[in-house]
Structure 1
Amino acid sequence: MITIYHNPRCSKSRGACELITTSYDLADEPVEIIEYLQQPLSATALKALNAMLGCPVRDMLRDTESVYQDLGLDNPNLTDAQLYEAIEKHPILMQRPIVVRGGRAVIGRPPENVKALFD
């Protein structure tokens, strides 16, 4: 199963979806596309996703969104729990796309990053 946390308005997210369906998914695995702006992830789900990414939670944040500055998320004293809560309440803050396969995940920026899940 391949899961893509997707924003259809994002060209990088659309590019990753296209790469998966045309180039990488040669075994025709089932693909689940989750439009996370319509179906926001809970803080618990974000934490599990972050564990698969294996990166600091801050790497999951889009620091170019205005809400990032509005909430003061650049404050280095914020805990991971506070950052997960911010993403839960404001899903636009989550990097996109995030692709999960076989218990591993990557941020598909650039879309070619998803290739690591198929090596």
Structure 2
Amino acid sequence: MLTIYHNNRCSKSREGVCFLENTKIPFEIINYLESVPTFAELESIINKLKIKPIELVRSKEKDWIQNFKGKNLSDKEIIEAMIQFPKLIERPIVINGNKAIIARPTELINKVL
């Protein structure tokens, strides 16, 4: 089952949902601002993306700048920051089994279909 971690206030995230709707493949939408991933879930997503936790952070967000910018944080601390402030999580994230992609641009979704 395809899953998209979605923020409906984000135009790129809405584009990702629209793209998936057009594929006619069933998918699940997780609004991660309301249903914040656990540490284990976020760690699993990061592993599927094959990136470091800092690469999933929206470093221009006010919460990052005010609370974390310039600090030497461990991977664990970065994941905890994203749980505390879920707006820091880059979006949209599309997962298909063990494959995942940050769908920016939207067409990258094709890599996990």
Q: Measured at CA, do residues 44 and 73 of structure 1 come closer, stay the same or move farther in structure 2, by a change above 3 Å?
A: farther
Amino acid at match of 2:43: K
1:35 to 11, 31, 37: 31
Query: Identity over aligned residues, as a percent?
Result: 35
1:89 has 2:87 as partner: no
Question: Is 1:65 equivalent to 2:61 in the alignment?
Answer: yes
Pair 1:102 & 2:77 matched: no
The runs of at least 4 consecutive aligned structure 1 residues that moved more than 6 Å come to none
CA distance in 2, matches of 1:68, 1:110: 23
Once the 2 structures are TM-superposed, how far is the Cα of residue 32 of structure 1 from its aligned partner? 0.6
Structure 2 CA distance, aligned partners of 1:32 and 1:40? 15
Q: Quick one: which amino acid aligns to residue 97 of structure 2?
A: G
Matching of residue 11 in structure 1 with residue 11 in structure 2: yes
- The letter of the residue matching 1:12 is K
Q: Look up the match of 2:42.
A: 46
Match of 2:73 in 1: 78
Other structure's SS at 1:95 match: coil
Q: Which runs of 5+ in 1 are unaligned?
A: none
Alignment root-mean-square deviation, CA: 1.2
- Paired residue total: 113
Query: What are the ranges of 5 or more consecutive residues in structure 2 without an aligned counterpart?
Result: none
TM-score between the two structures when normalised by the length of structure 2: 0.94
Deviation track 1:56-99 (CA, whole Å, cap 9, x = no partner) reads 11111001110011112443x21000000000010000001000
Q: Conserved in 2, the CA contact under 8 Å of 1:62 and 1:93? A: yes
